[in-house]
Structure 1
């Protein structure tokens, strides 16, 4: 989607604020002993209260309001009976629609006590997102997002999950440009266009470069001993720094 008018801008910013609020509330609520289904129900109640609809449910019949991935699960984790424990690494991915506009966001945290390696993984992935966003502007090469993420991964001796990527969105959950990769692809000749709405989401991992679906048909897992993190923002491309629609409301 490309922003065409004030209504488009207001629509993306409104749904962006909603998913950001839910993301932050869910991550803050994570505690040992709760199930991922309980955490997801919180997200579902907030979506209803804020007048939004779960995008994975709406678009793909996903069996949950949000995607919650724990430990070996890299993405698209199905909420259920899994009990969150001390030291677990938990990713929450929230995407939703309101008034015909979509936004997508995610974050990762570690349940105390926090091991140094897991803290480093999360901090590095969050840094990778910040570095990637610095490359998003009108006329910039899309593959520079991947280069920025790859540089951070190499510095921290982490792997990039190569078959997960960012994407365009706005009028639906996944649109062009698809495949905004987390590594440098010199063959990608695309450029960002003014007003494009895109989701930038690095996935860094301790062991896995690729993930595949488990028997549930949704959850993505690589090496069972691997741990991964994802941070994601929906942004609008401008001639300068992108407009971050999913920024935390506590951030100025």
Structure 2
């Protein structure tokens, strides 16, 4: 039995079945943190306060915030408010009614990086914001539907792009998903646009994120 991960011809790590358990536990903790923070997203709270709650919960669970100290970053999460697409920095800015925000957390648990994010609504949601959130979530699920051995990373991007553009929106091309596992960012770059049948072929054992931004 192969007990070590390997690199395929595209430089992408192929993990063993034994490694899935560690990745699942870290990912589950990251999702649990996003569940926890939901009730705290209310008008008047600062994004710094949300970040502290995330930090403390992660530490109490025996994990390490991956972003804290990463390339000089001083926060334990990224909180992107309204028109900020991603990588927003928590601050003393207070949330107000009608704000939408993306909270992105990555925890390191037993050496595995669990990376996930979620959109939140503070107070009353406008129809325009609701449409943006719905389109982006549907785009994510359409991309996930393409994740199967034998498909390509181009299939993921093409499926997302086709759906988003059919809604008279556009995909943000400056940022992408990425490989992860025992490192924060690794091959491949997972872009959210592209052509069917292009790019590396998906194999069992790949760990990567899909993060469409619209």
| Structure-2-length-normalised TM-score | 0.89
Structure 1 residue 4 corresponds to structure 2 residue 16 = yes
Which residue does 1:119 correspond to in 2?
130
Tell me whether 42-51 or 144-153 shows the greater mean CA deviation.
144-153
Which residue does 1:194 correspond to in 2?
204
1:181-218 CA-to-partner distances (Å, cap 9, x unmatched) read 111246943111211001111111xxxxxxxxxxxxxx
SS in structure 1 opposite 2:38? helix
Structure 1 residue 139 corresponds to structure 2 residue 150 = yes
Structure 1 residue 95 corresponds to structure 2 residue 106 = yes
Counterpart-to-counterpart distance in 2, 1:4 and 1:106: 25
Q: Indicate if the aligned counterparts of 1:110 and 1:119 stay in contact, CA closer than 8 A.
A: no
Which residue does 2:42 correspond to in 1?
31
Which residue does 1:76 correspond to in 2?
87
Give 1:170 deviation, angstroms: 0.3
- The number of residues matched between the two structures is 202
User: Structure 2 vs 1, CA of residues 62 and 187 (structure 1 numbering), >3 Å: closer, same or farther?
Assistant: farther
Q: Indicate if the aligned counterparts of 2:155 and 2:198 stay in contact, CA closer than 8 A.
A: no
SS in structure 2 opposite 1:84? coil
Q: Indicate if the aligned counterparts of 2:78 and 2:86 stay in contact, CA closer than 8 A.
A: yes
Q: Which has the higher contact order (CA 8 A, sep 6+)?
A: 1
Which structure has the highest strand share of the two?
Answer: 1
SS in structure 2 opposite 1:74? coil
Computed over aligned residues only, the root mean square deviation of the Cα atoms, in angstroms, reads 1.5
Structure 2 unaligned residues grouped into runs of 5+: 1-12
Which one has the largest radius of gyration?
2
Which residue does 2:56 correspond to in 1?
45
User: Structure 2 vs 1, CA of residues 104 and 32 (structure 1 numbering), >3 Å: closer, same or farther?
Assistant: same
| Structure-1-length-normalised TM-score | 0.76
1:161-181 CA-to-partner distances (Å, cap 9, x unmatched) read 101111110011101112x11
Equivalent of residue 119 in structure 2, options 103, 108, 126: 108
Counterpart-to-counterpart distance in 2, 1:199 and 1:76: 15
